[in-house]
Structure 1
Amino acid sequence: MSELQTFLTENRSKFEADLCELLKIPSVSTDSRYKADVRDAAAWLHRQFDQLGFETKIFETPGHPIVYAESPAVPGAPVALVYGHYDVQPPEPLEEWKSPPFEPTIRDGNIYARGATDDKGQMLTHVKSVEAWIKSVGKLPLQVKFLIEGEEEIGSEHLTPFIQEHDDLLECDVVVISDTSQFGPGQPAITYGLKGIAYYELKLFGPKQDLHSGTFGGAVTNPANTLSKMLSSLIDEKGKVQVPGFYDDVDPLTDEERNQFGSLDFSDADFMRSIGVEGLTGESGYSTLERRWTRPTFDINGITSGYQGEGAKTVLPAKASAKFSFRLVPHQDPAQLSESLKTHLEALVPPGIRMELIDFHGAPGFVVPLDSPYMTAAAAAIEKGFGRPPVFIREGGSIPIVTSFVEQLGVDVLLLGWGLNDDNTHSPNEKFCLADYHRGIKASAALWHTLSKITPNQA
């Protein structure tokens, strides 16, 4: 495969230029002002696959388009389905970016732009690896299918129905996803577990308009005060979530997992330094990695109420709202949580306040087996791409569609992360290490070779 390696080396600049092209497209899925840009990103990917001779189609949904592509079938070899997403988070707050979020900029070996690591850069490694095979060797050693959506950042609402309706089209032996992280710089990882999510907005309505806090304070229920009390009721000082029944289906950590996590090269001091804090908190009785990877959590994501402008304005606000999320572990049911949460909050509503709870989306967590031949093949490919074997980790993030792949297609899922924990995912100055971008392409190219050696019924 020397011709493949030569192609990968000689086309590094082209691969970076292609990444910059995609990153320039502001495909923010949650904001309707970017709807045309989201479609442009889908069209850009369609052209990439079309130029490689893939059978390619854009499927329309009630939301944003889904891009599907497949290479020719290879009899006797397994079929791999690559999933990724071309939509990105909103770039705000814009003033905190050192360079504009949709003007890709290279600094200190990193490319900075919204979507650089989540998920355009990571997803594109697989597109570029199949390009390398086709343009150097002439064909892939197995059939590779691509399913790239534009709604991952808003809950993948239309993807699960698409999978259900097109299970024949998506038939495969293994799903490959790169939307996670390495364990640390230079230490690649395979993620075998992800948390689920349940995301809500709580709205409280009081008087018909903002009131003078001196004239009306103490007589009229303040929505902001009430919101603060209601949110504080959801978690105690020891980091335990207080929604009734929240921990009923949470499996305890095994000694094997605790030993495995404890053996990893991780330091609380280094972790604190990397995120700029001087202390850590969380559920009592668990290490930092255990809290992040294996324990369910609650976090407020945003609060709005009253006067937010410069200077003082003494008002009793007419309304207050908060967005918050729970990260869930395997066996916790988001729908059951929603029922318990609503009952818990309704019991706390005082006179003079009307409550509205919006359930945005939810997905369960999952854990995949470590003993499949696909996991072994992935580990070998990553070692070829990164020069050292991967470690096996769990993650606190959520990829809601993974559960749909497992349940609907009945296949193993490989979560191969090329990013880093300090890539500022969802934050200003999002980045992706260009060396890891190229290592990811190399590992992906090796993956098609190692997977092709598996007899499909072997798994």
Structure 2
Amino acid sequence: MSSSSQLQPVLDRIDADFDNSLTRLFALLRIKSISADPAFAGDCKAAADHLAKDIASLGFATDVRPTAGHPAIVAKSNSKADGKAHDGGRSHVLFYGHYDVQPVDPLNLWHRPPFEPVVTDHADGRKIIVARGAEDDKGQLMTFVEACRAWKSVTGSLPIDVTILIEGEEEIGSKNFVPFLEANKEELAADFAMVCDTGMWDPNTPAITTSLRGLVYEEVKIKAASRDLHSGVFGGGARNPIRVLTYILGSLFEENGRITIPGFYDGVKDVPPDILAQWKKLNLTPERFLQPIGLSIPAGEKDRLLIEQITSRPTCDINGIVGGYTGEGSKTVIPAEASAKISFRLVEGQQPDKIRKAFRDYVTARLPGDCRAEFSDHSNAPAIALDWNMKPLAAAKRALTEEWGKETVLMGSGASIPIVADFKRTLGLDTVLVGFGLEDDNIHSPNEKYDLKSFHKGIRSWARILAALAEAPR
């Protein structure tokens, strides 16, 4: 029997069992798996054990694996785990999620205890789940687990082979996860990866994230005199590092918004015309995007759409600047040094190492006499872009459109998800990013929420995607 003919009973099962799905999610949300605080290490282990037990109940061969930090979960549903004989033509997907959550501070801004989940009403009438981790990422990963549960309940197996990989340190940079991937890369082999940690275009329009911007985060410190100087005595005669630094930083940008670093745009490609036409139809206006934060004028490249500025074009932002006296009152000094932190969001075609070198060369070439620069590298990750014609992407796109009744948007993300680059670099896997979060979900903030509709239709969406992948060419 084909997967498409089995799909409707699976969807019916999801609807009939939805209250139980919600109960299972709430049990996970009550676990205080805050990875950043060592005081909650036991809770992180409890979350891993809880999830592993639940997934194992679906017939997955499941292990909780130690890492140098919080444990990871590896669960396999394949021909051996199913107890069925499958031919080698089945697709095999590696699904990734994370059980760890952000700290809840400031606690006084929460409307109710953050680890006591509840379904309540949003101001606009939507039903929402409120709890820490409701969207990021417990609610998201459970949409996939519940879809697998429905398939196993109705048919006894999954339509494709699945390995579920769940980590416990995403919120603290996955610092122990890449070594885990490297140590287990043969076991984690698959055709491609899928991640449910992204969002929709709006509450009714599904989306697949097809690109993630990379990141280079630099700190530069300009030094001049051997000590802070009295500005009345040395003003006009001694170099002022703040003046030097701000001059160089100001010269990074042309009036039209382009970045002036030589070679910065080398390798940057335009969005394909058909995708750009789709983006234009979305009509992302400054009023919609900027007005809620008290702004009105896009600040990026003037010849680019706003949606391009925030998703598919590279950027440079000055994230912090320090120098001289910043306390109360006055202190007339020429500081001995001044520093700034600068981040570059990169797109496909840009190499982090080349951008870092180009920036440092740019600063060094503009240093006047008596000044020197010191640099620190805080972070870097390459950009990720999917092949627009990738078969799993096309199958997922069709499935989402069928479930939501609206054309699925293929969109870029201005943010970075380093694990996607790690999958490519370590496991050789491309990643399809499907998620059901919304921009008002307050992730990393008090009163985090997940729309009840996102959770319900997210489960149904994954059920459809599994069926579509089973019938798509490998």
Query: 5+ unaligned residues in a row in structure 2: which ranges?
Result: 1-5
Aligned to 1:441: 459
Deviations 1:108-133 (A, max 9, x none): 12233443333332222112211222
Deviations 1:320-349 (A, max 9, x none): 665442211001111222222333345566
Distance 1:283 1:265, change over 3 A: closer
State the shift of 1:96 in Å: 5.2
Deviations 1:300-332 (A, max 9, x none): 4455677888x6575868876654422110011
* Greater Cα offset, 257-266 or 84-93: 84-93
State the shift of 1:391 in Å: 2.3
Aligned partner of 1:118: which letter?
Answer: D
Aligned to 1:79: 92
Aligned residue runs from structure 1 range 366-445, under 5 A: 366-445=384-463
Deviations 1:69-124 (A, max 9, x none): 11132613211210122334455555655555555454412233443333332222
Aligned to 2:296: 278
Aligned to 2:49: 43
Aligned partner of 2:92: which letter?
Answer: V
State the shift of 1:443 in Å: 0.7
Q: 2:194 matched to 1:179?
A: no
Q: TM-score w.r.t. structure 2 length?
A: 0.81
Aligned partner of 2:64: which letter?
Answer: I
* Greater Cα offset, 129-138 or 441-450: 129-138
Aligned partner of 2:398: which letter?
Answer: A
Q: TM-score w.r.t. structure 1 length?
A: 0.83
State the shift of 1:294 in Å: 1.1
Distance 1:297 1:25, change over 3 A: farther
- 3-state SS of 1:118 partner: coil
Aligned residue runs from structure 1 range 297-376, under 5 A: 297-302=315-320, 312=329, 314=331, 322-346=340-364, 356-376=374-394
State the shift of 1:248 in Å: 1.7
Aligned to 1:148: 166
Q: 2:75 matched to 1:69?
A: yes
- 3-state SS of 1:277 partner: coil
Structure 2 CA distance for aligned equivalents of residues 113 and 405 of structure 1: 29
Distance 1:36 1:324, change over 3 A: farther
Contact kept in structure 2, 1:306 and 1:315, CA below 8 Å = no
Aligned to 2:135: 117
Aligned residue runs from structure 1 range 251-290, under 5 A: 251-290=269-308
Structure 1 CA distance for aligned equivalents of residues 411 and 31 of structure 2: 32
Distance 1:260 1:167, change over 3 A: same
* Greater Cα offset, 204-213 or 335-344: 204-213
Number of aligned residue pairs: give it. Answer: 455
Aligned partner of 1:446: which letter?
Answer: R
Distance 1:230 1:84, change over 3 A: farther
Task: Provide the aligned C-alpha RMSD in A.
Answer: 3.6
Structure 1 CA distance for aligned equivalents of residues 104 and 246 of structure 2: 28
- 3-state SS of 2:204 partner: coil
Aligned residue runs from structure 1 range 119-138, under 5 A: 119-138=137-156
* Greater Cα offset, 178-187 or 405-414: 405-414
Question: Over alpha carbons, which structure has the higher Rg?
Answer: 2
State the shift of 1:61 in Å: 3.0
Q: Please, which of 52, 56, 62 is the counterpart of residue 62 of structure 2? A: 56
Q: Please, which of 260, 268, 272 is the counterpart of residue 250 of structure 1? A: 268
Structure 2 CA distance for aligned equivalents of residues 27 and 352 of structure 1: 51
- 3-state SS of 2:290 partner: helix
Deviations 1:115-170 (A, max 9, x none): 33333322221122112223343322222111122333444344344333323211
Distance 1:370 1:161, change over 3 A: same
State the shift of 1:416 in Å: 1.2
State the shift of 1:67 in Å: 2.0
Distance 1:207 1:69, change over 3 A: farther
Structure 2 CA distance for aligned equivalents of residues 104 and 349 of structure 1: 55
Query: 5+ unaligned residues in a row in structure 1: which ranges?
Result: none
